[in-house]
Amino acid sequence: MNEQKKMDAILEATPWRCFHCDFITSDHAEAQAHFGDRDDGEEFKPICKWWDRMDDEERKEAFQDAMRDLNEGAQENMNLREQVEDLEGIVGTQESQIKSYKPFRECRSIHDIFCLYDSMEGRALAAEERERNKS
């Protein structure tokens, strides 16, 4: 297992090199941007090859498409960030509401609350059973 970790570390540190334009990187994201992430059997063409074959109008359109995709991704990230902030607010409110109920003040998790609730329910059922047996 240790050997596998060493091999993975070596492979991770090995830089990618484009033999068409001499682009070199050790960053996986940069390599993926240059070489692509296609695994569909198509002929392998790094960005430098297809970019050179485009005329100015095609490059402009490709750049505009990329900018549009980036802007859409940024907007989606903003929306997701707002949703996370809303959920964090809800969780914070729920925690304070739960802690406002005296028996739950020492609870640190939902599991603690369920355990305490089960215990309370058990005691209530036992008390009801005792009352029925008295009659």
* Length reported for the chain: 135
d(CA 17, CA 30) in angstroms, rounded, equals 11
Task: Clarify whether residues 87 and 110 are in a common domain.
Answer: no
Domain check: are 19 and 46 in the same one? Answer: yes
Q: Quick one: 28 and 74 in the same domain? A: no
Q: 123 and 95 share a domain?
A: no
Residue 4: band (very low, low, confident or very high) from pLDDT cuts 50, 70, 90:
confident
End-to-end CA distance of the chain: 69
Regarding whether 81 and 62 lie in a shared domain, the answer is: yes
| Nearest 10 degrees: Cα torsion 74, 78, 83, 84 | 90
CA dist 22 and 53 (Å) reads 17
104-124 mean pLDDT: 89
pLDDT cut 70: percent of the chain above it: 93
**Mean pLDDT within 98-108:** 82
Question: Are residues 69 and 87 part of one domain?
Answer: yes
Res 87 pLDDT > 70: yes
Q: CA-to-CA distance for 39 and 36, rounded, in angstroms?
A: 9
- φ, ψ (nearest 5 deg) of residue 131: -65, -40
State the residue range of the domain holding 82: 56-100
The per-residue pLDDT for 51 is: 80
Domain count, the chain: 3
